[in-house]
Chains A and B, each alone.
Chain A
Amino acid sequence: MIVLDPNGEKLNLMPLNVGPSHPATHGCLRFLAAMDGETIVASVEEIGYLHRGFEKMVERGTWQQVVPYTDRLNYCSAIMNNIAFCRTVENMFGVEIPERTKVLRVIVNELSRINDHFVCVAAAFQDLGGTTPFMYAFNPREEIMCIWEKLTGARLTNSFARIGGLSRDSYEGFEQDVLAALNSTEKALKDLHACLDRNRIFLDRTVGIGKISAEKAISYGWTGPCLRASGVASDLRKDEPYYDYETYDWEVVVGTQGDCNDRLQVRLAEIEESVKIVRQALKRLAPGPVDIVDPRIRVPAHKLAYQDMEGLIGRFKSVYEGIRVPEGEYYCGSECANGELGFTIVSDGFGHPYRIKVRPPCLTQFAAFHELVEGGLLADSMAVLSGLNIIAGELDR
């Protein structure tokens, strides 16, 4: 297409389609760019290639059946999503979960965050042509994956949280495994920083690329590490604390430039903070029950179902009819790896969710993608994309 630029000069632009199935578009994202040589003049995005109708599906099951669906939102930190969902429903019930569950949830939350950030940084490096850091990051990630395997039986789409508790208590030797994973995480962080911080090629590709101001990021509704990279110290774990996050000793990581490099560095620094939180949480982990005792919320244990009539009735009703969440409308956001994951829940007081709307943190970030890449090179758009950590599962739901 031939256009006149703002100065009245004639330009011949080439529309270039990138994605939806492109190794660098992480899943299935697509954008159409108007190219002037190597420079992107304008860009528009299309999403929805992974739209599976999450919000329609969950309306057909019971409340407990929503939990495994939430794993498929951000599959890089699956357990975090179901903790966020369970927390929302528990708040509607107005129940307090046992202390041990709180601490365990904090531990798996932060381990998921470490996992998620490692994937993001590793993939960003990989997209720019660096394979070594990928391996450095994936070693500790693998250890955490093994913990997931022992804890839940699955590696990727694992669900651990349940409404009113956890699917099971931690296994024997959990603490040692977590400590070992933390140690190798710290080692990997050192290696990653050695690869990243003074790497001329990497810095040239990421510093000053895909810049966004704090104001604009807020207007686009950015949350999480991407917003913090622009210099806004906003973290729900501090702002609206839950699970006693305010009592742990840790800092909100804030960037200065809001560019691609900052977004990755903030993530690496957040891993350090998460390691700090997990170490403290491990010390607080005391024996105790993990489920609340209320058959109207949490299905009674198997043992009770065989020995006790009330337990049997509770189990039967909870499986066949589902729990009944109090009638009402509620929004609750939790700080997940990519930002604020929010659930708006409308309940009619019966066994099936009436309406559940997910607020995925990725959506707002990808909505601003054109602002980040316009004026840059096509190759830079890949650095920007991987720095945003767009997870198609939660973007398209």
Chain B
Amino acid sequence: MTVEEIFAVLEERYGATREKQDKWGVTAVVSASYLHNAVQFLKEESGIKFDMLVDIVGIDYLTYPNHEGPRFAVAYAFKSMKNPGARIRLKVLVSEENLNVPTITDFYANANWYEREVFDQFGIVFKGHPDLRRLLNHVEFVGHPLRKDYPAQKRQWLSTNDYLLPQLEQRLEELGYKVVQRSKEVETNDNEFLEGSIKE
């Protein structure tokens, strides 16, 4: 099975269309509702098993010349370990009104951080993500910096780092532990936690 044949299956089953902008490889545009199935097909059913998620990229088309269609896009790049050299990309168009995209963290472990990054930089919400927080920017940061309407020179006062204790508890629960008594510090609510930071 070649990548072209896989695209034909995606086209038939999930209504994928060919991204004409990608003149160098194969990029299939699927609707958000089919994304989960399409990824499952790529990873588990297709002849070439695309078992590695290489990257998730957010794109904002706000200032793109003569752009038609939704403002945002999320592009997924996959590659296959069993068939070295086989690559395919999926793309989901996301409108400003509905920023939801289903998560694929149930297929790939690294989708967790990639999706957090796209959420952080573009504000796209991945439905079903276990812990959708900012990844690179500060917890106090306001806005989404890689959107085209975010001014590059804008400065923000940021003074505190991630709290992480709730995440640590979450991780313990994942490992089968049960938290009986929380740390004293964890019971402060978020507002109090951010109170010490410098605000304008």
- A328 near B171: Cβ-Cβ < 8 Å: no
Q: Identify 22 residue pairs between A and B in the complex whose beta-carbon atoms are under 8 Å apart, listed by A's number.
A: A1-B182, A10-B180, A13-B172, A32-B167, A33-B168, A34-B168, A34-B172, A42-B168, A42-B175, A46-B164, A48-B136, A53-B152, A55-B121, A91-B24, A92-B24, A330-B22, A331-B77, A333-B54, A355-B59, A357-B57, A367-B110, A367-B113
- A234 near B54: Cβ-Cβ < 8 Å: no
- A331 near B136: Cβ-Cβ < 8 Å: no
Interface residues of A in 326-345 (CB under 8 A from B): 326-333, 340, 342, 344
Partner of B161, one of A1, A46, A357: A46
Residues of B within 8 A of A331 (CB): 25, 54-55, 77, 87, 89
Q: How far is the CA of A280 from the CA of B165 in the complex (A)?
A: 53
Q: Does A348 contact B (CB under 8 A)?
A: yes
Q: How far is the CA of A60 from the CA of B81 in the complex (A)?
A: 36
- The answer to whether A368 and B109 touch (CB under 8 A), given A1-B179, A357-B57, is yes
- B175 near A41: Cβ-Cβ < 8 Å: yes
Interface readout for B82-94 with A: 1 if CB under 8 Å, 0 if not?
0011010100000
Q: How far is the CA of A34 from the CA of B169 in the complex (A)?
A: 9
Residues of A within 8 A of B136 (CB): 47-48, 51, 396-397
Residues of B within 8 A of A (CB): 19, 21-25, 27, 51-55, 57-60, 64-65, 75, 77, 79, 81, 84-85, 87, 89, 108-110, 112-113, 121, 134-138, 145-146, 150, 152, 161-162, 164-165, 167-169, 171-172, 175-183, 186
Interface residues of A in 206-237 (CB under 8 A from B): 216, 218-221, 232, 234
Q: Does A39 contact B (CB under 8 A)?
A: no
Q: Does A302 contact B (CB under 8 A)?
A: no
- B168 near A44: Cβ-Cβ < 8 Å: yes
- B55 near A218: Cβ-Cβ < 8 Å: no
- B110 near A234: Cβ-Cβ < 8 Å: no
Partner of A216, one of B109, B112, B138, B177: B109
Q: How far is the CB of A370 from chain B (nearest CB, A)?
A: 7
- B175 near A374: Cβ-Cβ < 8 Å: yes
Q: Does A204 contact B (CB under 8 A)?
A: no
Q: How far is the CB of A306 from chain B (nearest CB, A)?
A: 36
- B186 near A1: Cβ-Cβ < 8 Å: yes
Q: Does A3 contact B (CB under 8 A)?
A: yes
Could you count the A-B residue pairs with CB atoms below 8 Å apart for me: how many are there?
Answer: 168
Interface residues of A in 272-311 (CB under 8 A from B): none
- B138 near A6: Cβ-Cβ < 8 Å: no
Residue from B19, B110, B152, B161 whose CB has the most chain A CB atoms within 10 Å: B110
Q: How far is the CA of A49 from the CA of B162 in the complex (A)?
A: 11
Q: How far is the CB of A272 from chain B (nearest CB, A)?
A: 23
Identity of the chain B residue whose Cβ is nearest the Cβ of A12 in the assembled complex: B181
Residues of A within 8 A of B150 (CB): 56
Q: Does A128 contact B (CB under 8 A)?
A: no
Q: Does A172 contact B (CB under 8 A)?
A: no
Partner of B178, one of A4, A34, A326, A374: A4
- B55 near A44: Cβ-Cβ < 8 Å: no
- The answer to whether A363 and B22 touch (CB under 8 A), given A48-B135, A55-B146, is no
Residues of A within 8 A of B79 (CB): 333
Q: Does A5 contact B (CB under 8 A)?
A: yes
Q: Does A240 contact B (CB under 8 A)?
A: yes
Q: Does A125 contact B (CB under 8 A)?
A: no
- The answer to whether A3 and B24 touch (CB under 8 A), given A43-B171, A218-B52, A329-B19, is no
